[in-house]
Structure 1
Amino acid sequence: MIDLPLSALEVSIVEAGTTPADALANCHAAARELDRLGYHRLWFAEHHHSPAIGAFPPVLLTAHTAASTPGIRLGSGGVLAPNHAPITLAEQFATLAALHPGRIDLGIGRGPGTFHAPTARALRRGADPATDDEYRRDVAATLDFLLDVALGELPEPWLLASSDAGAELAAELGLPIAFAHHIRPANTVAALERYRKGFRPSRWCEAPRVLVCVETVCADTEERATELARPMDVIKAGLLNGHGETAFPTPAAAAAHRFTEQEEAALAAFVGEQARGTRETVAAALSRVAESTGADELMLVTPVYDIAARVRSFALVRETFSDNKVVSDNVSE
């Protein structure tokens, strides 16, 4: 049993056969249930021009959810600095922090949030992708503007990373780090070692602080967990082959999909670093991640088709790690 805060990342899946409006409704329903289950924080990811993920601005989802939930911390995981003016990010999240004191996080990331080159350029008003130096300046400027526009209590800033470079920037700026183990698990341990070694205390964080995000699919049986995770496996296989994103498939379509031997090997290696299976299997996997990374907090991302199955997964994990054995009476697989 591990004794760490459990949090959640919402990627706003648009399931095949549904609409973006359905995805928004699912986000809201999941947020309310995560709050009731006692999850520590919920972050919303920024994506654009994706057939599988809604293009819902994290700041708007944060504002809407904060107004309709009583306790869970909320924020971006993350807003992508190259797509926004630093002063705009500071004003938006400072306002949210003033409206909802003690509940707002500003997680900042780097990627464009899209595989569609014209959309990436449009987000940058035609500019080329941000360089390392430009990204560093944007993050530093956002932090400076937060102090200038503060309306009282500040949001809690985090730096999202999936590489050594991101870990080094978080250490240099003295920020807590949220590491994308669910994207690049092979980078996690070494990058976090660099982060801890290079960390400089700041007004934002006195000592290294690590959140690790893990893809987590929990069900009553191993077979059910595999079934639930298969649509996302289809998406990953396409990305491995450079096909870009496709619509998030139904379980039936995913079950009919056939992976190549190379895809199966790559997926098996990835799954081995995540948490998938029954409560016992998932608990053991999360414990291994926590031990190997020294995480202070675990964040779960659960990209499965069907809101009821998704929330059920979160409930089963929470039940496993909660002294109060809180489970949802409202959802089922």
Structure 2
Amino acid sequence: MKPQVSGGPIRATIVGSLPKPAWLAVPNILQAPWKVPTEDLPEALADATRLSVESQVAAGLDVVTDGEQRRRHYIWGFLDGMAAVDTVNLVLKPTRGQRFREEAPVARLVGEPEWTGPRLVEHLRAVRALTKRPVKVTLPGPMTIVDSLRDEVGRHSTADLAMIFADLLNREAKALADAGAAVVQFDEPCFNIYLDQAREWGVVALERAIAGVGTTTGVHICYGYGGAEVSDWKAANRDWSQYEQSLALVARTDIDQVSVETAAVGVDIGVIELLRGKDVLLGLVDVGKEAVETPEVIARGLRRALDHVAPQRLFACTDCGLVLRSREAAAAKMRALAEGAAIVNRELADG
């Protein structure tokens, strides 16, 4: 039975990542290198995971993650150690439709990718040993993986390569479900960028990734992290119609939960009407700013969402990962999510 920490049907959670302690990794950047010697890294990662879980529990979140403390990056955490994928000798490649910059560092595919065993089950078990609350594990989606790799073999088309990774992700997701994950979430920001490809093969790859997974499955579709380049693009952008297409696509799948961004962008919350019958993780916390939302701001967004989703299917959530924020701001933003959910839950209880 899932604990209702927020005091009612509306629950609170985060997309996945939290900032790492400054003694573990360089703060406020993605793909930050470890600052701890290799021989001390296992103990340091265990300590960081414990602190991450404690912060979520103290904030009052209903569903927790490992804060992605054991991963340098949400994509590489799955690819590290996979056969034929080099995440050390990086190369530059145009990614994300060059929406934010012309090129970004990516891993290299140097052969036929192969799943060599669970990558994240150990991470899950570490969190489950720390809390009785439901635990979510995040994985990169197949479309986002292939956008974040340079194929130096050229044996497969992009779509075919996405299907290969979908099958590998499916094996990981099944292992996580067997190990007790309450939710397995696939992060697919590329669904809001490559709309034609998402329609042609991206959603098929997602369905392959979730097929037969014996637990709740979710997909996170956003407009990017809270870094300066992404925030600048969001500030200049005027077209937020992508969700009308991407959410309509995932609405027809067997995915159980969909995580969307609304706080930092001009997206109308009403777009979640497309997701009737699914759980909605509503992004009400801007991960690009240190300023902390008040519980009442969170509550206002939840009230608007209740016109489109049943309360038992609604989660107060962040727009994206909080990895770029300070630990103080991240903790305060999580508290605001739980307190905002509690406000609306009390209103629902009072009729």
Q: TM-score of the superposition, structure 2-length normalised? A: 0.47
Higher relative contact order (CA 8 A, sep 6+): 2
Q: More helix per residue: 1 or 2?
A: 1
Q: TM-score of the superposition, structure 1-length normalised? A: 0.50
